[in-house]
């Protein structure tokens, strides 16, 4: 049995780890300009509902080629607002993939709808349009396409289905800012496109989210939704010299502050550089793993460009003597902060209690047993990348058959 001699070298067995300190799978990248932008707002008259919110929205819409942008206080709020704007209500079905953060499906539940899980393509783990079509029923009202790991879905195929069956297409673009599909920017690929600005995402506002839309009416609907269902905010009423406000729908306090939007604007100015570094790191990984039969990166389609939020590989378990869980533990002991994205949503206890089967999507379930997310963020050095590669090769060599 090969590899036995290497077992004692693993840090989980008492050997020396590849790194002295943990390398996280993702983290924010801030500079002095970001800090100065936030301090400037802190010294201004408006900390929330002020001019920076509109400025951030305009710049984001410009960069993504979208007609409108609506800032919210989290990616979850963005998804909730998008599903609300799509008109989802009690009993409506919304089709989405299972390999996503729970918020993608939770947003449907918030409005009384029912998530319907359609399987993924095995090479990209993106939503399979053929499985979407098989899942459509008379109660289907929308499809949420999740740009898993940063690569855009097949929006032409999905929009064709949306048009054919008269349903809304929503892009969960929380992973894919800066990506493109057939030369079109993420943010302009669906009727509604939701983004997240959590610290591990491409840009951050601390916490935050945003929805782009081509339709001005949908944007206004979401602006009221983020503000308790009220059609004007405090600054608008101040400028108009009015105290009167009207609540026209049941909304939430999902506003994003000027403090956060100032940070977002500063981060947007560095988006090209941050994307370039993410792509450099992905290219280094691709080259390093091209000759490793135990590791298979996700396929990248030639007609699109990824935002590279995550770098996900699948382990070839036929070449290893141990399951993914032990490879994960061994890499963490080497101080490589690997992660797993994601447990299929319907396998969470809450969804099991709703009556979802534990085996709805065979492709997603097989992928879940094999996948690992490796560290990828723009502040990583080439040495950090080398550490990840060395650690994965070390662990695979020790556990190879």
Q: Do residues 37 and 91 share a domain?
A: yes
Number of domains in the chain: 2
261/243 Cα distance (integer angstroms): 26
Q: Do residues 245 and 299 share a domain?
A: no
Q: In the beta sheet, which residues pair with residue 194?
A: 172, 211
Query: Which residue out of 141, 168, 201, 394 is catalytically annotated?
Result: 201
Q: What is the pLDDT of residue 241?
A: 84
Per-residue pLDDT tens digits for 248-291: 999 999 999 999 999 999 999 999 999 999 999 999 999 999 98
- Whether the predicted model's global pTM rises above the 0.85 cut: yes
C-alpha dihedral (348, 351, 356, 362), degrees to nearest 10: -30
Q: What is the pLDDT of residue 83?
A: 98
Q: Which of these three, 211, 237, 269, is where a domain ends?
A: 269
Q: By the 8 A CB rule, do 183 and 54 touch? A: no
94/105 Cα distance (integer angstroms): 9
Q: What is the pLDDT of residue 379?
A: 97
Q: What is the pLDDT of residue 244?
A: 82
Tell me which residues of the chain have a pLDDT lower than 50: 1-2
Q: What is the pLDDT of residue 5?
A: 54
| CATH value at residue 343 | 3.90.1150.10
Q: Do residues 191 and 292 share a domain?
A: no
Q: Do residues 191 and 283 share a domain?
A: no
Q: What is the pLDDT of residue 237?
A: 78
Annotation says 201 is catalytic: yes
Phi-psi region of 91 (alpha: psi -120 to 50; beta: other; left: phi over 0): left
**Residue 276 sits in which domain range?**
4-25+271-399
Q: Do residues 56 and 8 share a domain?
A: no
213/367 Cα distance (integer angstroms): 32
């Amino acid at each position: 049995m090969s590899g036995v001699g290497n077992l004692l070298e693993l840090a989980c067995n008492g050997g020396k780890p590849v790194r002295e300190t943990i390398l996280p799978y993702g983290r924010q990248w801030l500079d002095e300009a970001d800090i100065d932008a936030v301090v400037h707002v802190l010294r201004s008259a408006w900390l929330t509902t002020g001019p920076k919110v509109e400025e951030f929205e305009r710049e984001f819409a410009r960069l993504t080629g979208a007609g409108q942008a609506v800032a919210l206080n989290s990616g979850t709020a963005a998804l909730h607002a998008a599903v609300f704007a799509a008109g989802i209500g009690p009993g409506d079905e919304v089709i989405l993939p299972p390999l996503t953060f729970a918020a993608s499906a939770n947003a449907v539940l918030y409005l009384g709808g029912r998530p319907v899980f359609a399987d993924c393509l095995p090479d990209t783990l993106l939503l399979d349009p053929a499985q979407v079509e098989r899942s459509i029923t008379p109660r289907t009202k929308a499809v949420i396409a999740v740009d898993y790991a940063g690569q855009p879905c097949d929006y032409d195929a999905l929009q064709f289905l949306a048009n054919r069956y008269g349903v809304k297409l929503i892009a969960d673009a929380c992973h894919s800012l800066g990506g493109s599909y057939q030369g079109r920017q993420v943010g302009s690929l669906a009727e509604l496109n939701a983004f997240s600005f959590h610290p591990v995402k491409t840009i951050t506002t601390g916490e935050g989210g945003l929805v782009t839309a081509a339709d001005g009416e949908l944007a206004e609907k979401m602006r009221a939704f983020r503000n308790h269902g009220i059609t004007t905010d405090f600054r608008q009423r101040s400028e108009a010299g009015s105290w009167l406000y009207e609540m026209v729908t049941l909304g939430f306090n999902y506003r994003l502050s000027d403090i956060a939007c100032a940070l977002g604007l500063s981060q947007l100015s560095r988006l090209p550089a941050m994307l370039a570094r993410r792509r450099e790191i992905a290219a280094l990984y691709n080259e390093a793993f091209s000759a490793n039969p135990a590791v298979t990166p996700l396929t990248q389609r030639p007609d699109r460009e990824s935002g590279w939020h995550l770098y996900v590989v699948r382990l070839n378990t036929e070449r290893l003597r141990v399951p993914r869980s032990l490879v994960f533990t061994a890499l963490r002991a080497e101080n490589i902060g690997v992660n797993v994205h994601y447990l299929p949503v319907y396998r969470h206890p809450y969804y099991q209690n709703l009556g979802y089967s534990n085996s709805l999507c065979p492709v997603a379930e097989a992928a879940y047993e094999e996948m690992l997310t490796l560290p990828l963020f723009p502040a990583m050095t080439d040495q950090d990348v080398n550490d990840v590669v060395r650690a994965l090769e070390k662990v695979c060599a020790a556990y190879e058959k």
